[in-house]
Amino acid sequence: MSLLAFHDVHALYGQARILNGVTFEVGAGERVALVGRNGVGKTTVVNTLCGGTRVAQGRIELRGRPTKDLRGYSAAQNGIAIVLQGRGILPNLTVEENLLLGGATARRGPWTLAKIQELFPILSERRSNPGWALSGGQQQMLAIGRALMANPDLLILDEPSEGLAPVIVDDLAALLVQLGTDGMGILLIEQNISLIHRVAERFYVLSKGSVAESGSLHNVSRDELQGHIAI
Amino acid sequence: MLIQLLNGVVYGGLLYLLSVGLVLIFGLRQVVNFAHGALFMIGAYIGYSVAAAGSWWGGLVVAVVAMAIAGCVLDATLFRALRKQDHIVTVLVTFGLLLILETLVTVIWGKAYLRYPMPDLLSGTVDIAGSPFPVYRLFVIVVSIVVALSLASWLRFTRIGLYVRAASTDARVTSIQGINVDRLSLIVVGLGTALAGLSGVVAGPLLSLSPTMGNYILIDSFIVVVIGGMGSFGGAFVAALLIGQIHNFGAIYLPWAGTMLPLLLMVGVLIWRPTGLSGART
Ligand SMILES: Nc1ncnc2c1ncn2[C@@H]1O[C@H](COP(=O)(O)OP(=O)(O)O)[C@@H](O)[C@H]1O
Ligand SMILES: [Mg+2]
């Protein structure tokens, strides 16, 4: 089953047309990468899913159902959790409150507060600290933990490796592979070729607001992928 | 001295009831609600009319409920539409609303000053440290403290309270967690305007009723919100008590500076600590 699909989506901020016919799809349990250079419109895809742009043309489907009038909460209420670019930690709330917020949709599943604190012990140690007090790496754990609290069928991550030390990116890759193996769909928006290769099975290259290339990552070397992105 | 201190707490309590509503509304809608003083005033007039018809406490309830409904309607129509507008647009629109509401009240109740009665239960005085102190003023203090405590525990310990604090910090991130922020602000704006109605009724017997009775206290409330740190509930509480005292002691010892002192304090805070006393971090 398709969890999320864009069909020829054109989207605008005010008068500025950023997406010019974007088409892609993520099925249940699939690990898909959406790649592209800075400014090509990757985050705009996420914003469009959250109702942050005006869709002038095309169709967005959640769980196979065409969805008009997308709102910020639409994705979450359809089992899609998003780790935003820049993490979107609420600075004044405590670590634990940030996590509880992620469970707002109260979907059942394996992930509970205790499970997430077991996965990331630091989030348990620092549960009463405000969000702003965490380091970048800890904020990324919190953002992922918060997304898992929703027990999503699909996890979208917008440039999660940004600003992380290489060893932490390794941990991130291992975690995402594990989540995928356990059946969670993953849409990884990234520029880090090594992370993309370790996590995803398929890829779409976004260029100037539309999909320029797509395919299976098994048949594409790192250099070829790098070449696609550089277009 | 103690009596003077208590008088300052009375005014501070009223300021708190108004300014915490402003904080709630600003937090969810980024709307600086200039009509808040008009809702305070209309709450007082509605309470007055019901009280004149025989039931002071009925007036309190009716005014609070009416202003809660008015707030929900305002949120669903004006504030939701203003969400993506510039601050200056929202200021102009809510200021226009203030003028409309003032005119409306003038048409219904007239311009003349009206005397709001006091409930029998709360008339009379008690002896505090050898001086008489009106029971009604104690009642105002108790109402403010009860509201402050209930609101603080609601925000701190309930799930909805958590969502409200989250949405006040970042509505977009909050909605992406699956929370319908529009529905949330309906509750929150309704609560804010209900508190304006409540403070209008409670203030009624202390002030006299006129269509412009809300204007002066609204300015002090804005000062409270700025000093407390835009968007801080605890900051509003502390700042309201502070301004209450300054207002009161200023009127006694520095009458010529009277209304200027809160403004000067605000300018001082803005220079010394632009994010307000609570110092919300960005
Ligand atoms: N809120 C906005 N309003 C107008 N233009 C925007 C906005 N956000 C991003 N853009 C523009 O849209 C383009 C795509 O941005 P974005 O989707 O953030 O790219 P990416 O995530 O791929 O780096 C950029 O040219 C950027 O300047
Ligand atoms: Mg981006």
Q: Is the pLDDT of residue A36 over 80?
A: yes
Task: Give the closest residue to A210 by CA, choosing from A10, A4, A3.
Answer: A10
Contact A131, B280 (CB under 8 A): no
Output the pLDDT for position B20.
95
Q: Is the pLDDT of residue B130 over 90?
A: no
- Tokens 């001086």 correspond to B131
Domains and CATH numbers, chain A: 33-51+70-229 (3.40.50.300)
| Span from the CA of A42 to the centroid of ligand 1 (angstroms) | 8
Cβ pair B162:A146 closer than 8 A? no
Residue B277 located in a structural domain: no
- State mean pLDDT over A190-211: 94
Number of domains comprising chain B: 1
> Strands across the sheet with A210-216, in order?
A80-83, A154-158, A185-190, A31-35, A202-207, A210-216
**pLDDT, tens only, B45-100:** 999 999 999 899 999 999 999 999 999 999 999 998 887 788 889 889 999 999 99
Please measure the distance between the N-terminal and C-terminal CA atoms of chain A and give it in whole angstroms: 32
Partner residue opposite A91 with nearest CB, options B159, B174, B281: B281
CB proximity A150 to B under 8 Å: yes
Contact A40, A212 (CB under 8 A): no
Output the pLDDT for position A231.
67
**pLDDT, tens only, B246-271:** 988 888 888 777 678 888 888 888 88
Residue B45 located in a structural domain: yes
DSSP state letters, A50-70: TT-SEEEEEEEEETTEE--S-
SS (H, E, C) B154-168: HHHHCHHHHHHHHHH
Output the pLDDT for position B275.
75
Cβ pair A104:B170 closer than 8 A? no
Strand partners, A54: A12
Nearest CA to ligand 1 atom 14: A41
Instruction: Name the more confident of A225 and B224.
Output: B224
Output the pLDDT for position B282.
37
Task: Give the closest residue to A135 by CA, choosing from A89, A82, A188, A189.
Answer: A89
Partner residue opposite B173 with nearest CB, options A77, A88, A97: A88
Residue B123 located in a structural domain: no
Mutate which of A12, A18, A45 to test ligand 1's pocket (most atoms within 8 Å of Cβ)? A18
Q: Which of B23-37, B182-196, B220-234 has the lowest mean pLDDT?
A: B220-234
Output the pLDDT for position B255.
77
Residue B281 located in a structural domain: no
Domain range for residue B149?
A: 2-116+128-272
CB proximity B162 to A under 8 Å: yes
Neighbours of B278 (CB within 10 A): 21
Output the pLDDT for position A35.
95
Rounded Cα distance between B96 and B81, Å, is 15
Q: State CA A161 to chain mean position distance.
A: 11
The answer, yes or no, to whether any atom of ligand 1 lies below 6 A from the CB of A86, is no
Q: What is the nearest CA distance from B192 to chain A, expressed in angstroms?
A: 22
Q: Is the pLDDT of residue A142 over 60?
A: yes
Output the pLDDT for position A219.
83
- State mean pLDDT over A176-204: 95
**Ligand 1 atom closest to Cα of residue A159:** 21
**pLDDT, tens only, B105-121:** 999 999 989 999 999 88
Confidence of residue B281 (pLDDT cuts 50, 70, 90): very low
DSSP alpha helix (H) spans, chain B: 2-29, 36-52, 56-74, 80-82, 87-109, 135-157, 159-169, 171-176, 181-203, 213-228, 233-253, 260-272
Output the pLDDT for position B280.
52
Task: Output Rg (C-alpha) for chain A, integer angstroms.
Answer: 17
Mutate which of A43, A191, A205 to test ligand 1's pocket (most atoms within 8 Å of Cβ)? A43
Residue B213 located in a structural domain: yes
* ipTM score for this prediction: 0.93
Output the pLDDT for position A32.
97
Query: Which region, left, alpha or beta, applies to residue B95 given φ > 0 means left and ψ of -120 to 50 means alpha?
Result: alpha
Cβ pair A76:B176 closer than 8 A? yes
Rounded Cα distance between A103 and A151, Å, is 8
Residue B122 located in a structural domain: no
